[in-house]
Chains A and B, each alone.
Chain A
Amino acid sequence: MRTVTVVGASLAGLYAARELRAQGFDGRLVIVGEEAHRPYDRPPLSKDFLTGRADEEQLALADPEEEAELDAEWLLGTRAQGLDARGRTLLLENGRTLVTDGLVIATGASARRLPGTDGLAGVHTLRTLDDARALRAALSGGGLRVVVIGSGFIGAETASSCASLGHEVTVVEAAPLPLLPQLGPEMAAVCAALHRRGGTELITGTGVARLHGQGSVTAVELADGRRLPADLVVVGIGAVPNTGWLAGSTLLLSDGVLCNDGCVTEHPQVVAVGDVARVGGLRAEHWTSATEQPAVAVRNLLAGRTVDSGRPLPYFWSDQYGARIQFAGRRREGDDVRVVEGSTAEGGFLCRYEREGRTTAVLAVDRPRPFMRARRELSSAQPPDRPLPFRPVRAESLAPVPEPG
C-alpha cells in the first residue's frame, strides 16, 4: 500500500492519520478536509468556546510539530465529491482526481436543519467552528431572547452556555423529556431538572410548527399554537452522516457507511471511522468512538483484511449548568435504574442500569471518581472481542441511533 487517503480532517480523521504512522505506514498519506481549518476538537464549541472561556488555539487537536511528524499532504478546504466503484479513485471538487490504495472515510455528520429556515437571519446550528464563531458573535450582546430547539447534548449545552451569558433561554423538546432515548425516563427527568435549576425554561412534548420573521427571526411557533418571541434560535435536532459524496460508489450506505465490527466496508481497502461510520450495525456519534475506532480500522486496512474488531464500551459526557454528566454502557428499554451513590435530589450521584442482576450501563452526575471505577468494571466485564468477516447489514433492520455527545 503506497498511498492512503483520509477523507475528513476532524477528530476521527486525525486519529486515523496518527494510527497509520504509529502502525508503521510510511507511504504517501493524504488528508482531505472540507473545512479550511486544521483539525480541531468539537466538544468545547458548545461550552467553553461559546462562553469565551476557551479560544480557537485551545481547540487545536495537533500542534505544528506533530503535524510535521505526520508527514501528510493536507488538502484542506477541499470537498470530496465521489468515489469510483472499486474504491480506488477519489473525485475531488473542481474535477480533480486522486488515486489511492487505501481509503479512510471520516467525513463525519452535518447538523440537521429546520426545513424552510434557510436565509432567515438569527437561526443557527452548532456543529463546526464556523457555526460556533457565528453563534458566539451573535450572543455577544447579552439580554437576548434565545429559543433552543432540541434538548439533546448540543441543545442542552448551548442553552446552558446562553443562560450563563445572561440571555433569557427557552428550550423546546418534542419528546416528553430531554435525553430520553439515551438515559431512560427516570434519569431523563433528572436532567430536565438541570435546565430549571439553571434558570432555563423547558417546554417538552411539543414540536415546532414554524419560525416567524421577515429577514431575521422574531418568533418560534410551536405545534400546540404557542408563540415564543425570539431574537435568536439555535436548532439542535441531531446530525446527518455525510455520505452524499459516496452516492455513486459501491459502498453500502444507510444512515452512515456500513462496515463490520472492524470498521471495514465490503472493500477491504476502504474503512470508515467516526460519526459517518455504522460499525456492526450501530452509528455512535461520540467523541470516544471517533478516537477508539481508528486503531482497529487502520490495523485492518494495513492487513488487507479484518484481523481485529473492537466493541468498545460506549461512553459520553456532557457539561450542563455546571453539572458534569457521564454515561457508559448499553442501556436497553426496561432496565432497572438504581442510585448507588449520592442522591438525585441534590449534589451528584452515581446510578446503575441493571438487567437480570447485571449492570448494563452507569450514569453519573458530578461523581467522576466512582464513575470511572464503574466504567472500568463494566468495560472489563464485556465479552472478549473476536474478528468477524464482513457481513452486510440489512438496511431495513437499522434503527437510527440518536446519540450525539
Chain B
Amino acid sequence: MIPVCRLEDLPVGESVRIDTTPPIAVFNADGTLYAIDDTCSHQDASLSEGWLEGCLVECPLHAASFDLRSGRPTCLPARRSVRTHEVVVEDGVIHVRPAVREGTAA
C-alpha cells in the first residue's frame, strides 16, 4: 500500500497525483475517495488536473470523461478504460493499493 496524504489534506472536490509508475490520481468526490490511473487513455494528460463533477472526471486536454467508479470513459475521444485502484484510510492517512498491471487496462 502506498501512503498518499492525510485525509484532511484532500478536501471534497480535490485530487492528488502520486508518482507511481504509471502515476495514480486520487479524488475526493463528494466525500468518497477514488483512485484511477492518472494518465488519460486518449493522450498524455493528467486526470488529477481534470474537472471533477460527481463521480466523473473530465480530462483537461480534450474533455474525455471517465467514471471514477469503473475507470470507463463516458464519452469520446477516450475509448479505453483507465485502471481503478483500491483506496484505504488507515489512522487518518489515505493509502492506495495499486491494481496489478496485467489484464486491467482493457
Chain A residues packing against B (C-beta within 8 Å): 15, 18, 41, 43-44, 48, 61-63, 66, 287-288, 291, 317, 324, 326, 368-369, 371-373, 376
Contact = CB atoms under 8 A, between A and B. Distances in A.
Given A291-B77, A369-B60, A376 B43 contact: no
Given A291-B76, A317-B61, A372 B44 contact: no
B60 A376 contact: no
A44 B43 CA distance: 8
A317 B49 CA distance: 16
Interface in B1-23: none
Interface string B38-50: 0000011110011
B51 A372 contact: yes
Contacts of A326: 61
Given A48-B44, A372-B50, A372-B51, A63 B60 contact: no
Nearest to A58: B43
Interface residues of B, number: 14
16 contacts: A15-B76, A18-B76, A41-B43, A48-B44, A287-B62, A291-B76, A291-B77, A368-B49, A368-B50, A369-B50, A369-B60, A371-B60, A372-B49, A372-B50, A372-B58, A376-B51
A393 B74 CA distance: 38
B61 A369 contact: no
B69 interface: no
Interface in B37-92: 43-46, 49-51, 58, 60-62, 76-77, 79
Contact of A63 (B45, B49, B77, B79): B79
Given A43-B43, A44-B43, A317-B61, A369 B49 contact: yes
Interface of B: 43-46, 49-51, 58, 60-62, 76-77, 79
Contact of A368 (B43, B60, B77, B79): B60
Contacts of B76: 15, 18, 291
A369 B60 CA distance: 7
A48 B42 CA distance: 13
B67 to A, nearest CB: 18
7 tightest Cβ-Cβ pairs between the two chains A and B: A368-B60, A368-B49, A369-B49, A372-B60, A372-B51, A317-B61, A63-B79
A66 B60 contact: no
B46 A368 contact: yes
Contacts of B62: 287-288
B79 A66 contact: yes
Nearest to A66: B79
Contacts of A63: 79
A31 to B, nearest CB: 17
Contacts of B44: 48
A278 B51 CA distance: 31
A288 B77 CA distance: 10
Contacts of A48: 44
Nearest to A18: B76
A368 B48 CA distance: 10
B90 to A, nearest CB: 29
Nearest to A65: B79
Contacts of A288: 62
Pick from A18, A291, A324, A368 the residue with the most CB of B within 10 Å: A368
Contacts of A372: 49-51, 58, 60
